A and B are shown apart, each in its own frame.
Chain A
Amino acid sequence: MTVMTKTRARFNLKAAAPFVALFVLIALGAFVHPKFLTFDNLVQNVATRTSFIAIIAIGATFVMASGGLDLSVGSIAAFVAGVMLIYLKSGGPEAGVGMIALAIGLAILVGAACGLANGLITTVGKIEPFIVTLGTMVILRSLFTYLANGGSISISPDLKDIYAPVYSGTFVGVPIPVLTVLAVAAVAAFLLYRTVFGRHVIAVGSNEDVARYSGIAVNRVKLWTYIIQGICVGIAITLYVPRLGSANSATGLFWELQAITAVVIGGTLLKGGTGRIAGTVAGAFLLEVIGNILTLSNVNVYLIGAVQGTIIIIAMLVQRSLMRKS
């Protein structure tokens, strides 16, 4: 009985660790600038612009919980944005809400297809996901550059104005991207914690051989984690495109690193076997808050990177020491 409570206590503390780190950081931010702790700054600006990385990182939580890795998410993002923008442009001046709805569907479909490709090459081809997704990262980035003719792809200002509220609009006072993150996180948490599939993801990540001997279709589980990752990138892009109405070669650059960092800060282990959806969202938010605090502060502009890295490492130390306690 005592053993039971002890495990539960440890579990809760582990799950809370990234939130404690986030809380400490927000307290620090409050000292840096009086406007830091305002709804406009923390929710309307920072939480909203965290949404892309947060949603992508939720997908990455599945991949990494199963012991996989996806380096191609930034390039998938750019490619999906490219396809979506070209589709929207093809509608000409009459394009409206209906076309945007179809474009959103298309984005999610293309994202899923990219994930499917990653998953198939990894499982059927039996190649390390690091190499596979490094390859698709380069391929998809190049395909985007080809679509954009080396420059940028933009939709007309009129169409952008129709689509813009998806990024800048609110529902009952909460920005739509923030609500989207919460919805995706809720579905993901249900999938990971409450379904057979979710248990299989963790089992495969903990020990692939044992999972296989237990009769789990390891390849099918892995394949689905990459498809989920692709779908998440697709959803993220449907929020990204309405912000500037355009994409260029900087779109999605280094997003894979930000997503992986968010997942790890959130308490999911790089080697797999655990997955923490809420922690991942907190991790993504934490990264963006650090950037926000640094811009609001008067740190020497050349040293921002050093301070940023230091804060991330300190946040990880706080988080890991909490995880080890009790």
Chain B
Amino acid sequence: MKKLMIGLAALSLAAGLGVASAEDQKLTVAVSIPAADHGWTGGVVYHATRAAKLLEAAHPGLKIIIKTSPDGASQASALEDLTTQGINALVVLPHNSDELTGPIKKVKSKGVFITVVDRALSDPTINDLYVAGNNPELGRVAGQYMKEKLGKADIVVIRGLPIVIDEERQKGFDDAIKGSDIKVLDKQFGNWSRDDAFKVMQDYLTKFAKIDAVWCQDDDMAVGVLEAIKQSKRTDVKLVIGGAGMKDMIKKVADGDAMMPVNVLYPPAMVASALEMTVSGLYDKVPVRGKYILDATLVTKENAKEFYFPDSPF
């Protein structure tokens, strides 16, 4: 009997709370992102979680479900599960375009607002909002800087993985240095991994007697590159350019590191921009449909402080 009383009391309390928060519209937003399989995606998870907390505090009726998936197939299943729970909007950073265009289209057919982040779908009509960094620009800015800074140089490139992002960055870089005296000695894949980039760089240093500069497309790989150069005690490498804005590398730029004077931004926090825009579209009815492309800002010693997040895991 006593138990029943307590139960009833709890129930009425819960109902009371429900009434109170009903003033704020009850909406559910799902965030589907890749699991933290390298530094950058780790940053995506961090910023998505951080933004979700802030937004839920600002909108009492809002529920944000964050789901990470280790690969494309499990992300497709996760999307089905999320849709079954009933969602109003989906913010998705797809593992790859080909595999997930279909599943996301299915979610869309249930009347869900679709925000795609970073990796474009094969069918661009599906997304209501598209938020992305600028991959060709990331390559172009790095190439442009190298051309202006070095003029004539023999350089090596460490690419990521053979996917669209990598190709876009590479093409931007190639276009920027076209017709200049920057000569690319070699391009190999470092799989966006510190350890693999370390190996590739060690082998580059064996293969080529003189290397003026390295472009490695991503700051995780820059960690391995810098260590390989340091251990080889070679002094010919004058410049290493990474990209994405990892905190350790931004700090090097801010401290005026001679070998790494600049960085090119490709912030994982873009998932937070996407989530904020999606939620303000839902609650405040501000127009957000369209494409939002972030700049690939050149980070230098002067502006580095703006982009330094010591608490972020990336």
Q: Per a CB cutoff under 8 Å, which of B187, B206, B227 touches A296?
A: B206
Contact residues in B for A40 (Cβ distance below 8 Å) = 206
> Is A114 interfacial (CB 8 A cutoff)?
no
Contact residues in A for B159 (Cβ distance below 8 Å) = 301
Q: Mark A145-167, 1 if CB is under 8 A from B, else 0.
A: 10011111010000000000000
A41 nearest in chain B by CB position: B206
Stretch from A4-12, A65-73, A194-202, A244-252 at the B interface: A244-252
In the complex the two chains form, what is the Cα distance from A244 to B221 in whole Å? 11
A302 nearest in chain B by CB position: B162
Contact residues in A for B313 (Cβ distance below 8 Å) = 148-152
> Is B295 interfacial (CB 8 A cutoff)?
no
Count chain A CB atoms within 10 A of each CB in B192, B227, B312 and give the residue with the most. Answer: B227
Known: A151-B39, A249-B39. A35 touches B207 (CB 8 A): yes
Contact residues in A for B248 (Cβ distance below 8 Å) = 154
> Is A206 interfacial (CB 8 A cutoff)?
no
Known: A248-B194, A295-B200. A151 touches B206 (CB 8 A): no
Contact residues in A for B165 (Cβ distance below 8 Å) = none
Is the CB–CB distance between A253 and B203 below 8 Å? no
B221 nearest in chain A by CB position: A250
Is the CB–CB distance between A45 and B203 below 8 Å? yes
Is the CB–CB distance between A151 and B42 below 8 Å? yes
In whole Å, how far is A172's beta carbon from the nearest beta carbon of chain B? 19
> Is B144 interfacial (CB 8 A cutoff)?
no
Contact residues in B for A149 (Cβ distance below 8 Å) = 42, 46, 313
Is the CB–CB distance between A148 and B42 below 8 Å? yes
Please give 18 more A-B residue pairs, beta carbons under 8 A apart, in addition to A154-B248, A246-B194: A33-B206, A33-B207, A35-B207, A36-B206, A38-B206, A149-B42, A149-B46, A150-B41, A243-B198, A244-B194, A244-B224, A248-B42, A250-B39, A250-B220, A292-B199, A292-B203, A295-B199, A295-B204
Q: Mark B166-207, 1 if CB is under 8 A from A, else 0.
A: 000000000000000000000111011111101110111011
In the complex the two chains form, what is the Cα distance from A41 to B195 in whole Å? 17
Count chain A CB atoms within 10 A of each CB in B188, B193, B206, B231 and give the residue with the most. Answer: B206
Is the CB–CB distance between A150 and B45 below 8 Å? yes
Interface residues on B, range: 35 or more
Q: Per a CB cutoff under 8 Å, which of B189, B192, B206, B223 touches A244?
A: B223
- Which A120-155 residues have a C-beta within 8 angstroms of B? 145, 148-152, 154
Contact residues in A for B192 (Cβ distance below 8 Å) = 250
A298 nearest in chain B by CB position: B186
Is the CB–CB distance between A248 and B38 below 8 Å? yes
Is the CB–CB distance between B46 and A151 below 8 Å? yes
> Is A291 interfacial (CB 8 A cutoff)?
yes
Count chain A CB atoms within 10 A of each CB in B39, B41, B45, B187 and give the residue with the most. Answer: B39
- Which B264-282 residues have a C-beta within 8 angstroms of A? none
Contact residues in B for A150 (Cβ distance below 8 Å) = 36, 41-43, 45-46, 313
Q: Mark B144-176, 1 if CB is under 8 A from A, else 0.
A: 000000000000000100100000000000000
> Is B314 interfacial (CB 8 A cutoff)?
yes
Is the CB–CB distance between B37 and A249 below 8 Å? yes
- Between A and B, 13 residue pairs with Cβ closer than 8 Å are A49-B202, A149-B313, A151-B36, A151-B312, A151-B313, A152-B39, A152-B313, A154-B248, A248-B220, A250-B191, A291-B199, A292-B203, A295-B204
B43 nearest in chain A by CB position: A151
> Is A261 interfacial (CB 8 A cutoff)?
no
> Is A219 interfacial (CB 8 A cutoff)?
no
> Is A180 interfacial (CB 8 A cutoff)?
no
In the complex the two chains form, what is the Cα distance from A251 to B231 in whole Å? 20
Is the CB–CB distance between A35 and B193 below 8 Å? no
- Which A37-57 residues have a C-beta within 8 angstroms of B? 38, 40-41, 45, 49
In the complex the two chains form, what is the Cα distance from A152 to B194 in whole Å? 11
Known: A33-B206, A33-B207. A249 touches B38 (CB 8 A): yes
In the complex the two chains form, what is the Cα distance from A168 to B233 in whole Å? 11
Known: A244-B194, A244-B223. A296 touches B42 (CB 8 A): no
Contact residues in B for A154 (Cβ distance below 8 Å) = 248
Contact residues in B for A151 (Cβ distance below 8 Å) = 36, 39, 42-43, 46, 312-314
In the complex the two chains form, what is the Cα distance from A244 to B226 in whole Å? 9
Is the CB–CB distance between A296 and B207 below 8 Å? yes
In the complex the two chains form, what is the Cα distance from A253 to B198 in whole Å? 15
Q: Mark B33-52, 1 if CB is under 8 A from A, else 0.
A: 00111110111011000000
In whole Å, how far is B170's beta carbon from the nearest beta carbon of chain A? 11
Is the CB–CB distance between A250 and B37 below 8 Å? yes
